[in-house]
């Protein structure tokens, strides 16, 4: 897997992101696209970070093999050839002649080690060597190396420490993250959250529209209900009048039949009287 140096501090804003600090070395898991990459920190945390916040180390076609461990049990040990003052939280300071335990040496520029105080961090690979391979007293400093003074007051040559990123003016300074990344680059989790919030706003707006339409229709609905009740009352009155007419009709028919019967009897009586 490729490694990268962190150019700027970044604090996570979503659960699937991870925090990084300027100068840290991270392992690139994969590039997600849209300006984001998935990385793993030296602390073992894994998540997304803006791709513009890291600088991937160039890939070498044939990297030099790491020193083979000396036969025997136990972890490898390394010895500091020169003094080194750590300038990042993930790095480890060195004293010339100090012996450390090597934890990882997969990166050609920086090795992960633990000192006698049980502190762990990254040290420049050119400042240390495998203890069993070449004694520290016989080491030869690289050519054209700057002279530094150790904590014991003796001058010793040290190789050039891999430098952190430089500003555009060429001076080493605390760089600020690209302004565009803060506002235009969004992680997948942020995009999903924004989409969910937008959908929630649209749903709330639709609810408000429905409430407004309902408020407008309620007076019309009450008027329609009143008209329906009045129509039902009118229908009941008409049915009652119709039943009354039917009853009156029936009574009139009975009265005509009785009158006809009385006339027939009266004629019979007049006939008998004439005889």
Please give the model's pTM, rounded to 2 decimal places. 0.30
In this predicted structure, what is the pLDDT of residue 74? 60
State pLDDT tens for residues 93-143.
999 999 999 898 878 888 889 998 888 989 888 899 888 644 444 444 444
Nearest 5°: the CA angle 157, 161, 164 is: 155
What tokens does 147 get? Answer: 């002279």
State pLDDT tens for residues 228-259.
999 999 889 898 888 888 888 777 777 788 88
d(CA 225, CA 236): 17
In this predicted structure, what is the pLDDT of residue 272? 83
> How buried is residue 76: exposed, middle or buried, by Cβ count under 10 Å (0-12/13-18/19+)?
buried
- Rounded to the nearest integer, the mean pLDDT of the chain is 76
Q: How confident is the model at residue 43 (pLDDT cuts 50, 70, 90)?
A: confident
d(CA 262, CA 119): 137
Q: Is residue 177's pLDDT more than 50?
A: no
Q: Work out the percent of the chain whose per-residue pLDDT is above 90.
A: 23
State pLDDT tens for residues 201-232.
999 999 999 998 888 898 988 899 999 999 99
Higher pLDDT, residue 155 or 226? 226
Listed ranges 13-17, 55-59, 267-271; the one with the highest mean pLDDT: 13-17
Q: What is the DSSP letter of 141?
A: P
List all residues 6 or more positions away from 81 whose beta carbon is below 8 Å from its beta carbon.
96, 127, 128, 129, 136, 139, 141, 158
In this predicted structure, what is the pLDDT of residue 161? 52
Alpha carbon 165 to chain centroid, angstroms: 29
């Amino acid at each position: 897997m490729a490694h990268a140096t962190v150019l700027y501090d970044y604090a996570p804003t979503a659960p699937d992101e991870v925090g990084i600090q300027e100068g840290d070395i991270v392992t690139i898991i994969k590039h997600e696209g849209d300006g984001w990459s998935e990385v793993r920190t030296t602390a073992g945390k894994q998540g997304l970070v803006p791709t513009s916040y890291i600088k991937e180390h160039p890939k070498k076609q044939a990297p030099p093999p790491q020193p083979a461990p000396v036969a025997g049990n136990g972890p490898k040990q390394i010895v500091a050839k020169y003094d080194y003052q750590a300038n990042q939280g993930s790095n480890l300071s060195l004293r010339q002649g100090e012996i450390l335990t090597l934890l990882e040496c997969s990166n050609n520029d920086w090795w992960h080690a633990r000192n006698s105080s049980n502190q762990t961090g990254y040290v420049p690979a050119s400042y240390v060597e495998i203890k069993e391979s070449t004694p520290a007293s016989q080491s030869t400093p690289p050519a054209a190396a700057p002279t530094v003074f150790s904590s014991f007051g003796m001058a010793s040559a040290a190789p050039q420490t891999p430098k952190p990123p430089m500003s555009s003016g060429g001076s080493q300074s605390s760089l600020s993250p690209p302004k565009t990344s803060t506002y235009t680059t969004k992680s997948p989790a942020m995009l999903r959250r924004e989409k969910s919030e937008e959908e929630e706003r649209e749903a709330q707006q639709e609810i408000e529209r429905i409430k407004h339409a309902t408020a407008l229709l309620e007076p019309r609905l009450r008027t329609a209900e009143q008209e329906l009740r009045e129509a039902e009352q009118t229908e009941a009155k008409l049915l009652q009048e119709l039943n009354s007419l039917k009853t009156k009709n029936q009574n009139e028919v009975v009265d005509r039949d009785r009158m006809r019967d009385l006339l027939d009897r009266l004629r019979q009586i007049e006939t008998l009287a004439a005889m």
